[in-house]
Amino acid sequence: MTIPTEPIGSIPRPAYLVEALGEHAAGRLDADGLGELQEKALVETIKRMEETGSPVITDGEQGKPSFATYPLAGLTSLAPDGVVIPFADGHTRQLPRLTAGPFRYQTYAASYLRAAKKHTTTPVKQAVIAASAIGLVYPGEELAGYSKEEFIADLVNEAEADIRGSLDAGADSVQIDFTEGRLSLKLDPSGGLLQSFVDLNNAVLDRFSEEERKKIGVHTCPGGDQDSVHSLDVDYAALLPTLFQLKVGNVYVQLASEPDPERALRVIAEHSRPEQRIFVGVTDPIDPRVETPEEVRDRVLQAARYIPADRLGTCDDCGFSPFADDLSTSRDTAFAKIAARVTGTRLAEDSL
C-alpha cells in the first residue's frame, strides 16, 4: 500500500531573496537582478526538497509575492485599501481594491511551474489561488462601467485559464488555495458567504471534465502567517460539510494543529465523497518543534480509522511562508518537517 504525501506550497525564502525583494520594491534593484536571485533560490529550494525524499515537490513559491496576489502583480487598476485580514496576534494583511475593468490576470501560475520543471524530473504540483479569494478585490460599491456580474464572468475565465494552463504545462496536480473558506465563517457565521465562495469556485470547476478534476484539489487551513492564524477558532464542523461540495478530486485538510482532530475526522468521514482523496495535515508549520516520524505515523494511523486507506494521503497543514516577507520559520525547520512527514508516512504504510 502506498499513501501519497505532498507539500502544500510555500517554503521560506532565503535571506538574500527577502532582502532583494525589499531592494526591488524600493527601486534599488532592477527586475533582471531580482530574477537572477529568484532563480538561484528556486534551484536551491528544489534541490533541498528533493533531498527530503518527497515524491512530489513544489517550487516553494520562491517567485510569488504571495500565494494570494501573484495574479495581480503589475495590474495598474488597483488601490491599496482593500479587504483587511486580521490575524490572532493582532497583525493584518490587506488585499488591493480593483478600481476599473476589465479584469485580467497579469501572471498565471503555469509560469512558475515551467520554471521549476527546468530543474527537476520529480513530479511538481502547482498551487493556484481560488477565484473566491481574488473576488474579494472587487469593491463594495459597483464600479462605473464595470458591473460585478461582468467582473465575475471575467474572473471565472481567468481562474479557469490559471488552472488549465498549469495542467497543460505538466503539473502533477493543481491545488486551489482556499484559506478564505474558514475565514468566511468569522465574517458571516450563517454560512451564506461560504456558500457563495463554493458556488463561485464550482463555476470554475464545472469547466473541467471529471477526469481533469481528479488532478485538481482544494486546500483549507485557518491561515498561517508570522506564526499566527486568522480562523483556527472557527469550528471545522461549520466548514467541512460545505467544503466537500467543491468538485475536486483531492482535499488537503489542515489537521496537525487542530484542537480536536478526532472530531474533524468524524465530520470528514461523514461528508467527503467516495471519489475524493483526503490529504490530512501531519506537520504544523507554525510550531517551531519538528515532529518526529513516529508522531507523523500516529497521526496517519489515527486518520486511517476514519478514512479508508486507499483514499488517504498526507500533507503539511499549510505552506511554510505564504507571504514572501514572512521569516518566522527557518528554511531548515521547513525541510526538516517535510522530511519527517515523508518518513512518518512510510512508517504508517508499513503499519497499515
Tell me the backbone φ, ψ of residue 81, rounded to 5 degrees: -100, 55
Over residues 92-119, the pLDDT tens digits come to 999 999 999 999 999 999 999 999 999 9
Distance CA 23, CA 56 (A): 33
Distance CA 244, CA 238 (A): 12
- CATH number, domain containing residue 154: 3.20.20.210
* Enclosing domain of residue 28: 5-351
Over residues 243-265, the pLDDT tens digits come to 999 999 999 999 999 999 999 99
Distance CA 3, CA 329 (A): 27
Tell me the backbone φ, ψ of residue 334, rounded to 5 degrees: -60, -50
Distance CA 67, CA 121 (A): 24
Distance CA 205, CA 162 (A): 12
Over residues 51-99, the pLDDT tens digits come to 999 999 999 999 999 999 999 999 999 999 999 999 989 999 999 999 9
- pLDDT higher than 90, residue 224: no
- pLDDT higher than 90, residue 10: yes
- Beta-ladder partners of 253: 220, 280
Tell me the backbone φ, ψ of residue 129, rounded to 5 degrees: -85, 145
Look at residue 324 in the predicted model and tell me its pLDDT. 87
Domain total in the chain: 1
Least reliable range by pLDDT among 127-136, 252-261, 319-328: 319-328
- pLDDT higher than 90, residue 332: yes
Q: How many other CB atoms are found less than 10 A from the CB of residue 82?
A: 16
Look at residue 242 in the predicted model and tell me its pLDDT. 97
Least reliable range by pLDDT among 129-143, 154-168, 224-238, 325-339: 224-238
Q: In this structure, what DSSP letter does residue 231 have?
A: S
Distance CA 30, CA 39 (A): 14
Look at residue 193 in the predicted model and tell me its pLDDT. 96
For residue 195, what is the enclosing H or E element? helix 192-205
